[in-house]
Amino acid sequence: MEAIQSPIQNVVGSVFVHVKDLRRSAEWYSMAMGLPLLEERLNGGPVYWLALEGGTGLILDDNRNNDPGAKHVLYSYKTDDIEAAYRFLSEMGADLLFPIERPHPGLAYFNFADPDGNAVMVTQSDYESAVVERLEHSASPIMNKIASIFINVTDMNRAIAFHSKALALPYEEVNAGQSIYELHMRSGSGVLLDDNRFRQGDSYKTLFMFVTRDAEGSKAYLEANGVQVFTDMERHGDMAFFTVQDPDGNVVMVCSE
């Protein structure tokens, strides 16, 4: 039997962070990664975007152009055929949140939701941006790279089945004790299904993970810039990580490479 192919690529284009004050957030994320502030992108529009190392970018979105009450998108997948991607998800019974939108030539997208209500965008785009390079003398140990995105779920095997089917990946059932499952990505950032927040009854969700070569130095740098640690440093073997909140309360992890 011929393997099913998904028109949705297992490649993350961008992570979305939903914010209230675009300039404040652009300044915060630039400070965190040691990047210049790109004034030309603070031109009155609803988004501030950054192409980052590794191929997965960051989009800050103040939602002014989004319908009130619409689900906030976590991230986007790439496709070369937006119509085929829409049909594929429709045929598998996914919750398609709106028809394909084409805001201008060379860009088309739509959103779908998983069984836990997590919204994901599928995008076909002709546009490429250059990676925003770190400032030469930046004191930040945090790299301009997103290592992984978290999808917070309540039923791990249900989530694995849905997201694997959307990307035509093999389904691997896991035992009840496994709280993290990594979807196989071809390039760019990883995607982690995570039921830790549900298991522990937490009221917050971690969005994604920045990379650093110095976890302790990153913690000290952020604290020196007025950022309070949200969850303290944890260590598992050679890996160390902690989380902070951005100005809008979004929780972001900083993890050693």
Under 8 Å between Cβ of 95 and 121: no
Going by pLDDT thresholds of 50, 70 and 90, the confidence category of residue 68 is confident
pLDDT of 32 strictly over 60: yes
- Which tokens sit at 248? 């809008």
- Residue-level pLDDT at 1: 39
pTM here is: 0.94
Under 8 Å between Cβ of 118 and 85: no
CA 58 – CA 78 distance, rounded (Å): 14
Q: What is the mean pLDDT of residues 80-106?
A: 96
